[in-house]
Structure 1
Amino acid sequence: MSDHGTVTRSDRVTVPSPGCLVAIMAPILAVLLVASVLMVMNYRQESANDRNEQEALRKTFTQARSYANDVLAKGPDDYPGREAVRDIAERYDGRLISYVRSGGSLATTVRFFAEFEDTSMFGVSYSRAHRCYAFEFQRDAEGGLQEKTTPLEKCDVA
């Protein structure tokens, strides 16, 4: 009681018991732990997927080299026709996009693909990495064939 006969209320600071703090903090810490584990797993899966895709793109470069070598071997005297070039492209998982033969040169555009594993938390799926290459075949001064390969950023599919 106060000096004037009224009841006063004292402001007491209450401290929660340790058991109550554990009951509050344990679920929060569990959620944070699960979230951090999922974030690390996602990062590792994305890194693995990027590596797999880069490996598939390197495979398309190997396919492009093999295609160019086969076209050069097919036509030492003259350039192969459209069907022969299409068959060579399909042999290396490619699709002939364009074929232009003019004068002493042959220009082709081929779209190659390679499959790779794409993993997620829900399982593994298979994706395709595509890359287009422009090839230019020309006769050199000695009459032999020369080839120039250029990877393309975009592939205009007709």
Structure 2
Amino acid sequence: MLALTWLLPAQYAAAECLIVNFKNGTSTSFDINDRPEVGFDASQMIIKSQALEATYDVETVDTFTFGSEAGVLNSILEKGEVRIVYKNSECVEISGLEAQTPAYLHSLSGVTLAAIQADSSGTATFNLSSFAKGVYIITTCNSQSFKIIKR
């Protein structure tokens, strides 16, 4: 299973909720103060917090992001904003990079394990299938970091 933890950029400081949008047009939200952890296995999205645990079929999930009860704070990538997107249980995609911009996968001890460049659309995909279970950090050139837990 792959779990994601965000180090929230300043533009999400007002986030109240983790919002999950489904392909059928519905959505659900989780209180950000409960520190929900988002995990994935081969076919399920699992959201765990101290208060609850919810499981959804990955095929039914469209997107998930941060927002407020009034809606998503920023559903469109702005210039310089980078987002991490779950692809499947072994791949994580970074979007919003400039073409050919590098992104790095590091161990917790700071060792760089992989470096990839964004494609022409600004997307970089890390395939984690060859890495052991554990905690990893993905960094981008604009100083954003994402903690990845491979289970």
Give the number of the structure with larger relative contact order, counting CA–CA contacts within 8 Å between residues 6 or more apart: 2
TM-score by length of 2: 0.24
TM-score, normalisation: structure 1: 0.23
Structure with the largest fraction of strand: 2
Larger Rg, first or second structure (1 or 2): 1
